[in-house]
Amino acid sequence: DAGITQSPRHKVTETGTPVTLRCHQTENHRYMYWYRQDPGHGLRLIHYSYGVKDTDKGEVSDGYSVSRSKTEDFLLTLESATSSQTSVYFCAISDNGYEQYFGPGTRLTVT
């Protein structure tokens, strides 16, 4: 998976709790992305980063925040998880903003 890891790979949490997902890359790529994948919706962009400390919102950013303090790490935080945030979350990286390389995914269940 192109030097990308995601942690944790699976998580079950309760409504109202904070959750942080981590994406780590060893490719030194400039761009990093967080998507969620749900049946019937394909992949939807949550947030992305175009450099250290440089981030921007995607299509479905409400309820999510991100941080990128180092080139290799991109964190996605759900401040107060809701059942609608149950999903599979994918991180992706790109060196040119075109082709993207995806991590293995994190399956999050909010009960």
Partner 1 sequence: SQQGEEDPQALSIQEGENATMNCSYKTSINNLQWYRQNSGRGLVHLILIRSNEREKHSGRLRVTLDTSKKSSSLLITASRAADTASYFCAGNAGNMLTFGGGTRLMVKP
Residues lying near partner 1 in the complex (CB under 8 A): 1, 31, 33, 35, 40-45, 48, 50, 58-59, 90, 92, 94, 97-105
Compare residues 38 and 79 and give the one whose CB is closer to partner 1.
38
**DSSP conformational letter for 59:** T
> Least CB distance from residue 17 to partner 1, whole Å?
26
- Residues 35 and 89: beta-carbon distance below 8 Å: yes
Q: How many CA atoms lie within 13 A of 25 on its CB side?
A: 27
> Least CB distance from residue 71 to partner 1, whole Å?
16
Compare residues 72 and 103 and give the one whose CB is closer to partner 1.
103
Distances (CA, A) of 71 to 2, 30, 75: 15, 7, 11
Q: What does the alpha-carbon distance between residue 80 and residue 48 come to, in Å, rounded to a whole number? A: 20
> Least CB distance from residue 85 to partner 1, whole Å?
19
